[in-house]
Structure 1
Amino acid sequence: MKKYTAEYQKKHLVLVSESRHEVGRIVENRKLFHFEEYITFDSKKYDIRNVGFLKNDVELFDSNVVTYFTDLAKERIIKSGEGVRIYYFKLKKTSQLTEKGKLLIEIREEKRRYEKSIFHLEVDHSVDDLLTLLFLYYSTKEFNSIGGDGD
C-alpha cells in the first residue's frame, strides 16, 4: 500500500507522498461571480462539475471528455471510456473505496483543534493517483449534508 497525506494549503487540498513529493492538488477558485474547482495532476487540469439531483454527483473531465463520474445513489465511482471500471465507496469516519470486494483506498481524517484537518490515505499500488484525488475530493465535500458523517 502507498501512503499519502493530504493537507490544506490556503484553499487547496494538496496530496503528498511519504517522501513529501506533491502528487496532485484539488483547487478551489472563488471570484466575485465565478466558482471553479479542478484537480491538477501530472501537469494537467481536470475540471470538476457537480451534476445530478441536488448537485450531489461529480464528473471529472479533461478537455470535455469525462474521465470519472460518481453515482451517489448506488455509492459508486465509474471510470468511463475504454476499460470501464466500477468502484464502490463508503463515506464514513474512515472512507473506503473498493473494487470487487478488494479495498483500494482508505482515508482517515485527523481533526486538529483550531486548524484544518489532515487526511491520511492508504492506497493500493494498482490505483491511479487521479482516482485517489477524485475520491479524496468527493469524500471531503459536504454535499447537502451527506458524506463524512462521523460514523
Structure 2
Amino acid sequence: MASTQGLKFLEAQGVAVTLHPYDYDPDADAVGLAAAAALGLDPGLTLKTLMVEVDGKPACCVLASDRHLSMKKVAAGFRGKAAAMMPPAKAEKLTGYRVGGISPFGQKRAVPVLFDAAPMTAPKVWINAGQRGLLLGIAPDDALRVLAAQALPLTA
C-alpha cells in the first residue's frame, strides 16, 4: 500500500493508526458517506476534511461525514468574521492532495485545524489518509495533539 504524506507525518509523530482501504467511487454524491458505507463504519465517526477560508485565510475543518458545517460557527471558531468553502482547485494546490483524498495530516502547507466536537469523544475515528480510497483509524486525542487542533461545535 502506498504511503502518503499524511501517513509519513503521523509516523514521524509516533502515532499508531490502522489503515482501511476501500473502493473509491468518483461519482459518489458524498465521499465520506460512501467511504463509511463501503467499510461498514458509523458515518458519525467517519470524518471528512473540508478546506475553508476565514477572512480570506486558509483553514481546515474536520467533521462527521453525515454533518454539515455552520460557516458562522467556523468563522467564530477561527476568531474571524466570515467563512466560506475553499474552491477545490485551490484546496488541492494548498494541501498537495486531490479532492476526495484530502487529509488534515501532512498537508503541503500547514494551516490551522478545527475538529467538530461531537465525534471527538469516541475512542477512535476514521479520517482520510491522504489518498482516495484509504482511511486511517486514529484516537481523537492523537489527532488533536499532532495538529495542535481544537474540538469545537462546528455543525449546523
TM (normalized to structure 2)? 0.27
Bigger radius of gyration, 1 or 2?
A: 1
Structure number with the bigger relative contact order (C-alpha 8 A, sep ≥ 6) is 2
Which structure: greater helix fraction? Answer: 2
Which structure: greater strand fraction? Answer: 1
